A and B are shown apart, each in its own frame.
Chain A
Amino acid sequence: MSSGSQTAEKGHAVRFEIVNLDFFYGAKQAVFGLNMKVPTNKVTALIGPSGCGKSTFLRTLNRMNDTIRNTRVKGQILLDGNDVYQIDSVRLRRRVGMVFQRPNPFPKSIYDNVAYGLRVNGFKGRLSDLVEQSLRRAALWEEVKDYLHKSAFALSGGQQQRLCIARALAVDPEVLLLDEPCSALDPVSTAKIEELMFQLKDSCTMVIVTHNMQQAARASDYTAFMLDGHLIEHNETSKIFTTPKDPRTEAYITGRFG
């Protein structure tokens, strides 16, 4: 088992290395020979048209696809040099948290939503301190600190999504996967979450799938463009959106696609 992190281009530490990844839903191949290094403590955005495989790829990173019947993975997904299939899936999903498109808080209080993961993982310490810390990291504390025992469903959509982020952060993951986290939210909530991602990335690697290119441009350090299950181009966001190398990338980001 290799330990430590490899180095991507430009000397950045690497959190995930994906090697020749193929993914199949039954007989249908959805991801073809994908190779990528995800830099540590940066935001990487996955963009591409519907059906390009970006969400499928995202879900391989914490083996969420295992819950879907008849799927097959070939190739390697290495988290800090360790194959994710050699790590217990529950432990993996604690280290690699996920936030989904529709906010999905538990039918519990705000406090219990955040505390749940800690209790289940047998956390020993002052629970309320960690709940507060997670809510602060998710930029939600000031709005809910006097209502921690209110139901999570009393919150607005944007607040619920930030609660889901706090819940994921509570178990101190190394990585946060976000699958179109803002597509159900209004522009102000979206801006708050993008700003939150900017604050968080110093302590957490993030991979975000977004169909909103402008969000990828605003919020990410690296962008990967996928098409028909293939990774077409992967580079610093500033380079992708000013001087993309591949004409297909250029066609997509300038809206001339199709």
Chain B
Amino acid sequence: MERHFENDLEELKQRLLWMGSLAERAVHQAVHAVLDAEEHLAESVLNEEPAINEMQIEIDDRVQRLLALQQPMAADLRFLLAVSRINGDLERIGDQAVNIAHSAMRILRHPQVKPYVDLPRMSELAETMVRDSLNSLVKGDEDLAQSVLQRDDQVDRLRDQLFRELLTYMMENSAVVFPSFELILVAKNLERIADHATNIAEDVIYYVAGRDVRHPALDRR
């Protein structure tokens, strides 16, 4: 039997995915503001941040309403709890994109420190992790969500590599300290974005399979 509640759930999912698309775009633009030295992309990220924040409030409001009024059970309940958590991660992804945009505007005032090699790789990984985590929600695809979790280590390794490389540059040439430091911050922000993508993937697994896969080191016996 079709219940009008199902329309409410579908609408909520669409709003969350829309918020996800805004967050993805923010990351993409922020990163390219750095890589392509495009100030207008950084400005675009800053201008669009309020929309992401508004959506966080709207989605939390919808979740609260549905929990209070519809007494959801089983997968419906897990879905609403997952949406509430994913909402928070998407808002933080938006914040990290803003941080990258600010760094971009500061980096622009300096000549490029070095050819960007690891940074584009890192940003590509982080962006696809965000995209795939959201796609795993759309498709209810546990395997896709798992694949996002597995890519997190790669991002961490690239961040460490970037840190070491930039440290070396800074030690050799004090003139590049300022932009190198900003690049380290950008790498840190990207690593955090990837972490949020893994959080989203964990929430999708919780929703789809009913398993809590956070903190695998914990003994759950």
Question: Which residues of A come within 8 Å of B, CB atoms?
Answer: 188, 191-192, 195, 198, 214, 217-218, 237-238, 241-242
Contacts and interface: CB of A to CB of B under 8 A. Distances in A.
Nearest to A238: B65
Closest 9 CB pairs of A and B: A241-B68, A217-B69, A242-B68, A214-B71, A198-B4, A238-B65, A218-B70, A242-B64, A195-B3
Interface of B: 1-5, 64-65, 68-71
B71 A238 contact: no
Contacts of B64: 242
Contacts of B65: 238, 242
23 contacts: A188-B1, A191-B3, A192-B1, A195-B1, A195-B2, A195-B3, A195-B4, A214-B71, A217-B68, A217-B69, A217-B70, A217-B71, A218-B5, A218-B69, A218-B70, A218-B71, A237-B69, A238-B65, A238-B68, A241-B68, A241-B69, A242-B64, A242-B68
A160 to B, nearest CB: 18
A242 B65 CA distance: 7
A174 B17 CA distance: 41
B61 to A, nearest CB: 9
A217 B65 CA distance: 10
Contacts of A195: 1-4
B69 A238 contact: yes
A188 B1 CA distance: 9
A191 B3 CA distance: 8
Q: From DSSP, what is the main secondary structure of chain A's interface residues?
A: helix
Given A198-B4, A217-B69, 9 more contacts: A188-B1, A191-B1, A195-B1, A195-B3, A214-B71, A217-B70, A218-B71, A242-B64, A242-B65
Contacts of A242: 64-65, 68
A49 to B, nearest CB: 20
Nearest to A192: B1
A218 B72 CA distance: 10
B77 to A, nearest CB: 14
A181 B143 CA distance: 46
A64 B4 CA distance: 33
Contacts of A188: 1
A218 B73 CA distance: 13
Nearest to A240: B68
Nearest to B2: A195
Nearest to B64: A242
A68 B2 CA distance: 41
A241 to B, nearest CB: 4
Contacts of B68: 217, 238, 241-242
B69 to A, nearest CB: 5
Contacts of B5: 218
Contacts of A218: 5, 69-71
Contacts of A238: 65, 68-69
A213 to B, nearest CB: 10
A241 B3 CA distance: 20
Contacts of A237: 69
A214 B70 CA distance: 7
Nearest to B69: A217
A218 B1 CA distance: 16
B83 to A, nearest CB: 17
A161 to B, nearest CB: 16
Contacts of B4: 195, 198
Contacts of A241: 68-69
Contacts of B69: 217-218, 237-238, 241
A242 B5 CA distance: 18
A241 B67 CA distance: 10
A11 to B, nearest CB: 21
Question: Which of A188, A214, A238 has its CB near the most chain B CB atoms (within 10 A)?
Answer: A238
A35 to B, nearest CB: 26
A156 B1 CA distance: 18
Contacts of A217: 68-71
Nearest to B5: A218
A158 to B, nearest CB: 12
A195 B2 CA distance: 9
A214 B71 CA distance: 7
